[in-house]
Amino acid sequence: MSRGLPFPLLSAGLLAMWLLLNQTVAIGHILLGTVLALGIPWSMRAARPSKTQLRRPGAIIRLFLVALVDITRSNVAVAWIILRPGQRRGTSGFVDIPLELRNPYGLAMLACIITSTPGTLWVGFDSNTGVVTVHILDLIDERTWFDIIKGRYERLLLEIFE
Amino acid sequence: MTFATELPTWTALLIAALVLLGAGLAFTGSLGLLRFNRFYERVHAPTLATTLGAGCVLIASMIFFSVLQTRPVVHEILIAIFLTLTTPVTLMLLVRAALFRDRVENKPCNEVETCAVPAAKNRPRSGRLAPSQAEPMKPLTHHPDHGDKRDHR
């Protein structure tokens, strides 16, 4: 952690956000954005977030695409569950999935992906046992969800964070 | 000043389709909120509006303003990012509040398929209920998703 730039990624993100908000790449805004991008992370140091390293940009892009496709697919699936005629049977339920992932940023990302996907909802994570509890709207086969979360998401997140 | 009538037909059609699709998804999500019976099912429905529903409207907005102003307008991406980051927080808070209440009321399991969670049985049932101290993601002890048929409306 260097004194000048404690969180380079956060700084880059803030500058990008500032330029996007102002919809310009004028030199004045770049300067102003740079001041913000340097100042805000500096005050973030008080919160002492744990450091992490991102590896494999390829895996990040793959994860993004996989999540995008899955979110779109489950949007259609959940919309069909809602719109199909007739009384629906209660097939929702909780699934417990043991994870190897321990990185808090990785877990936060997994929580965002799972909750953003219609039909699945992150309920909680037991940091002692490493078991994540997920609520699933259309729970027909536990095994399928086990494979999706462990095989698809956790594998990529492990590549990125650990 | 630019006006919507200056849009080429194909863009207008594409934008209209995207806006309608997004609005339809948001409507379906709200309908799901009405149609589902249990609280834990209901929280799933509004996700339609915050993911693909919002996505369609944002893409339509990007195309609309980019074509009208003949320059790329992409700051809608920020809305998408902030939506993705903030909705899970609200949803998780709601679900954990519901779980907390169910646990305090100690409701019995009356639906087999919704409470068959084997791993939960050997976890401690009490003493860890406080809405989180140190850890960012607090472990939950057990999950009573059951009998939520009463008053969640």
pLDDT at B19: 95
Burial of residue A105, with CB atoms counted within 10 A of its CB: 0-12 exposed, 13-18 middle, 19 or more buried: middle
Q: Which among B41, B52, B92 has the least Cβ separation from residue A137?
A: B41
Q: Which among A71, A90, A128 has the least Cβ separation from residue B114?
A: A90
CB distance B51–A81 less than 8 Å? Answer: no
C-alpha distance from A16 to closest chain B C-alpha (Å): 10
A7-60, pLDDT tens digit by residue? Answer: 788 888 889 998 888 888 888 888 998 888 888 888 877 777 777 777 788 888
pLDDT at A51: 75
Length reported for chain B: 153
Residues of B in contact with A107 (CB under 8 A): 137
Q: Domain ranges for chain B, please list them.
A: 4-120
pLDDT at A152: 87
pLDDT at B16: 93
Residues of A in contact with B44 (CB under 8 A): 78, 92, 118-121, 135, 137
Greater model confidence, A85 or B51:
B51
Q: What are phi and psi of A55, to 5 degrees?
A: -115, 165
**A115 lies within 8 A of chain B by CB:** yes
Does residue B143 register a pLDDT over 80?
A: no
Q: Report yes or no: A45 and A6 within 8 Å, Cβ to Cβ.
A: yes
Query: For all residues of chain A together, what is the average pLDDT?
Result: 85
Instruction: Give the residue-averaged pLDDT of B115-136.
Output: 40
pTM of the model: 0.75
pLDDT at B13: 92
Residues of B in contact with A117 (CB under 8 A): 47, 51
B30-58, pLDDT tens digit by residue? Answer: 998 888 888 888 888 888 888 899 999 99
CB distance A126–B136 less than 8 Å? Answer: no
Instruction: Give the residue-averaged pLDDT of B57-63.
Output: 93
Q: What are phi and psi of A92, to 5 degrees?
A: -80, 155
Choosing among A135, A141, A146, which should be mutated to test the B contact, i.e. which has the most B CBs within 10 A?
A135
What order of strands is seen across the sheet that includes strand A120-126? A93-98, A131-136, A120-126
A129-143, pLDDT tens digit by residue? Answer: 889 888 988 888 888
Checking DSSP bridges between strand A120-126 and strand A93-98, what pairing results, if any? unpaired
The secondary structure of chain A, three-state, reads CCCCCCCHHHHHHHHHHHHHHHCCCCHHHHHHHHHHHHHHHHHHHHHCCCCCCCCCHHHHHHHHHHHHHHHHHHHHHHHHHHHCCCCCCCCCEEEEEECCCCCHHHHHHHHHHHHHCCCEEEEEEECCCCEEEEEECCCCCHHHHHHHHHHHHHHHHHHHHC
Lowest mean pLDDT segment, chosen from A114-118, A151-155, B69-73, B148-152: B148-152
List the single residue in B with minimal CA-CA distance to A20.
B75
Helix (H) or strand (E) holding B12: helix B9-35
Instruction: Give the residue-averaged pLDDT of A60-74.
Output: 91
List the single residue in B with minimal CA-CA distance to A121.
B44
pLDDT class of A2 with cuts at 50, 70, 90: low
Does residue B111 register a pLDDT over 60?
A: no
pLDDT class of A89 with cuts at 50, 70, 90: low
Instruction: Give the residue-averaged pLDDT of A90-113.
Output: 87
CB distance A133–B117 less than 8 Å? Answer: yes
CA A39, A6, A46: angle at the middle one, nearest 5?
70
CB distance B145–A93 less than 8 Å? Answer: yes
Spatial neighbors of A127 by CB under 8 A, at least 6 apart, are B135, B137, B138, B139
B16-34, pLDDT tens digit by residue? Answer: 999 999 999 999 999 988 8
Residues of A in contact with B73 (CB under 8 A): 23
Domains for chain A: give ranges and CATH numbers.
Answer: 8-47 (no CATH), 57-161 (3.30.1370)
pLDDT at A81: 87
pLDDT at A145: 84
